[in-house]
Amino acid sequence: MIINRNSEFLFGFQATMTNPNGDPDQENKPRMDYDTSTLLVSDARRKRDCRDFLKNKGYQIFVDTLADKKVPMDTMFEYVRDSWLGDKKRMEQLFAENQSLKQAWEEMLGRDENYKEAYLNKLEELKSSKKTKELATVNNLFLTEIIKRSLIDIRLFGSAMAVEGVTRTYTGPVQISWGYSLHPVELVRSSTITSIMNEDSSTFGKKYKVYYALVAHYGTMNKYSAKLTGMTEEDRDLFRHALVQGLMTNQTDSKQGQEPLFYLEIVYKPEYDVYLGDLRRFVDVKENKEDDASREVTIRSLNDLTVDFHGLNQVITDLKDKGYIEKVIGWIHPVAQEGRLLNIPAFDPVDLWEPIQRGE
């Protein structure tokens, strides 16, 4: 079922002696707002983790490589398109379930059941006469169906496409903000490492990491955009799992040390169209001075912080009283359940560590 309720979420993770998002323009140092000592993490980093996780689980990804090589969008589209055209059974099922596409296809390409040959021959014919736009209607309908049926990352995050006479922008129902640390962070002071290649030579390089950061991303899921990409309730559940589990799938040297801490999602009733907005504004994070205000705190773990959700708890209660919220769902890492996060709003627990089913 296509999602018919807006929701917004808050995802927090901790990064210990790691580099959550290197900046290639700054020697791959962690992305930082140096004026405020705030660590930054792009939305692209989060989406890449989700895509990699879903790909590993057998789901087809559009923003991907072919044979380990980056390819332009039209090449990837041709690959996906041809995999469909070469599968007669799947094409017949597609036509049976979409009469508009079947009618447009037969008007342009006839009833030849060798779909791939018929399409490519027609395409070459139109290219030679510079009339490929005549395929726009078929491509438009075909592209939309491919996305809805097989490309989970486009259903979630959207994409702009310009292929074979069709220019379409699919706004992603899932939008993720840049993440930032909820407190000032410090870069590890020593960044030089030595990598010994053999007995006669060695190479020197640098690795940049932060001591500790509690990072939070805010995001939304939009029911209107979901209608255009075909994002379903099943997709929403897949995304939640991919967001949490994908963070730990990429266990590279620079990423080891990242752990998801919490996921909270406010699901609104179908008739409610707006959002609270960035939920991080309602979370108060302070250095843990243990009742000694003059105490200097060096932040090296969650134990050095007090994370208070009182403000978020209050606004959720207000919206619940007005009948706007259908439910709040949540997941908390065991390490954060020991009194580290204060005044967490009441939520329906979901197990986001539960293994997901493999895609086809």
pLDDT, position 164: 63
Could you tell me the pTM of the whole model? 0.89
SS3 237: helix
pLDDT, position 312: 98
pLDDT, position 71: 79
d(C-alpha 88, C-alpha 113), whole Å: 7
pLDDT, position 44: 95
Q: How far is CA 18 from CA 89, 261, 304, 344, in A?
A: 48, 16, 18, 27
H or E element in which residue 50 lies: helix 43-56
d(C-alpha 157, C-alpha 111), whole Å: 35
CA 23 to chain centre: 19
Tokens 């939008």 label which residue? 175
pLDDT, position 196: 53
83 and 212 Cβ atoms separated by less than 8 Å = no
Beta-strand (E) ranges in the chain? 7-18, 22-23, 29-30, 32-33, 38-41, 65-66, 69-70, 158-163, 166-171, 174-176, 179-181, 192-196, 202-206, 210-221, 258-268, 284-287, 305-308, 325-332, 341-342, 348-349
Give the DSSP per-residue string, 186-215: -B-S--EEEEE-SSS-EEEEE---EEEEEE
Q: Strand pairing partners for 306?
A: 286
d(C-alpha 123, C-alpha 125), whole Å: 5
pLDDT, position 175: 98
pLDDT, position 9: 98
Per-residue pLDDT of the chain (360 residues; tens, 9 = 90+): 999 999 999 999 999 999 999 999 988 999 999 999 999 999 999 999 999 999 999 998 888 777 777 778 778 888 888 999 999 999 999 999 999 999 999 998 888 889 999 999 888 888 777 776 777 888 888 888 888 888 999 999 998 776 666 677 889 999 999 999 999 999 997 766 655 555 566 666 778 999 999 999 999 999 999 999 999 999 999 999 999 999 988 778 878 899 999 999 999 999 999 999 999 999 999 988 776 777 777 899 999 999 999 999 999 999 999 999 999 999 999 988 767 899 999 999 999 999 998 776
